[in-house]
Amino acid sequence: MPDVGSAENAPETFRRAVEALREPLLTRPPPAASSAAVEVRGEEVAWGRLILLYDPENTRDWPGPFRVVCQVNSELESEIATDPLLGPVAWSWLTDALEAQGATHHTLSGTVTRATTEGFGTKADEGASTEVELRASWTPETDDLTSHVNAWLALLASAAGLPPLDVADISRQRSRP
């Protein structure tokens, strides 16, 4: 079997297929992306991606040159996953964050998905886990995307169960005599 660990050693057929995947990106500006994770006491409890798409010639179906796409995933307690209000509540994390950050936008759309994962075979001892995933996209009304990035970070914090930045966590404060 040939060594296909690098593109130079890959069969010609495979190299052509990979190049075909890259070709559409060469005709349009590539997307910009960022990712982040939230850890609590050394354990990752939420993660997400933020992608900025740019179409200066308006050839896409979104109204404007930019489109922001985000994805946020977080672990849930299994009882919460069955709550019928989980979808609307998770969606409100996003809409509240956009509003609080002043991230003006239009054409907001997305989904909230809940999933339970069970391990089998060599993963049987890992137990079941439940997660919520929010995927959304919107068209920003400005090219200064600072407020949109901050809204995504606030969404990520909400999904992780962290309090808003302007709320003090009094559970860690000691009572004073």
Q: Where are the domains of the chain?
A: 1-28, 31-163
- pLDDT digit string, tens, across residues 107-125: 999 999 999 899 999 999 9
pLDDT band at 35 (very low <50, low <70, confident <90, very high): very high
pTM of the model: 0.77
Task: Check pLDDT > 50 for residue 4.
Answer: no
Question: If you search the block for the tokens 């901050």, which residue do you land on?
Answer: 150
| Torsion angle of C-alpha atoms 146, 136, 51, 19, degrees rounded to 10 | -160
Residue 73, SS3? strand
* Cβ–Cβ < 8 Å for 112, 94: no
* Cβ–Cβ < 8 Å for 86, 112: yes
pLDDT, average across residues 4-14: 68
Closest by CA to 132, choosing from 91, 81, 70, is: 81
Residue that wins the pLDDT comparison between 119 and 59: 119
- pLDDT digit string, tens, across residues 150-161: 999 999 999 999
